Structure 1
Amino acid sequence: MTEPIDIAGGGLDSCSEGVTRQGMYEPCEATAVAVRLDPEEHTPYPVCARHARGEMVPLHDVLQPAVQDVDTLRKLRAAHAEWQRTGDLYEFVRASTTLLGT
């Protein structure tokens, strides 16, 4: 039995699979390397290399948008700091719109 996770909420560090032996559930808890889609509920959950089967998505693909968002946020903060230092509002707006693609 697996426990679905909220990808945006984190919790991707260890495998969610496990085994029941003599009525006792033992979680795998190995390092997660992929996100598997539950075939019944269609919800994602992290799995280790041993449990990686079925419909999966590499963790890199799941996390890449978040990494890009953090990188963009850092660039926006740097542009804001530069605007505060120089007072050049035009340059800050230009840099911001370029970073955000607007």
Structure 2
Amino acid sequence: MSEAPRCYPGDGGTSAMRADILAAIGQLAEAQAQLRAAFPAQWTGAGANTFTDVLLSLLHHSQAVDRALRAADRAALVADAELEARLAGGTA
């Protein structure tokens, strides 16, 4: 059986796991900004109202994804610190 994946790089830097999570948070923020910019400004009527409802729904769901990514980042940070302590011979 292979060794369990290590999230902490061992050199004091950001682990690959955290780097990926932070990149996803950044990409999600960019997508949220694009969604906010897509709201109809001069378009009115039922189509505009439906489009606005869809955008609001997407933004709402993206906020839940953002919270989950931030929770994953905190968990990865804790895992990195625990692994660093074990590798240094301490306990976490």
| TM-score, shorter chain, exceeding 0.5 | no
Which TM-score tier does this pair reach, normalised by the shorter chain?
0.3 to 0.5
Q: Give the TM-score normalised by structure 1.
A: 0.35
Higher relative contact order (CA 8 A, sep 6+): 2
Larger % of strand: which? 1
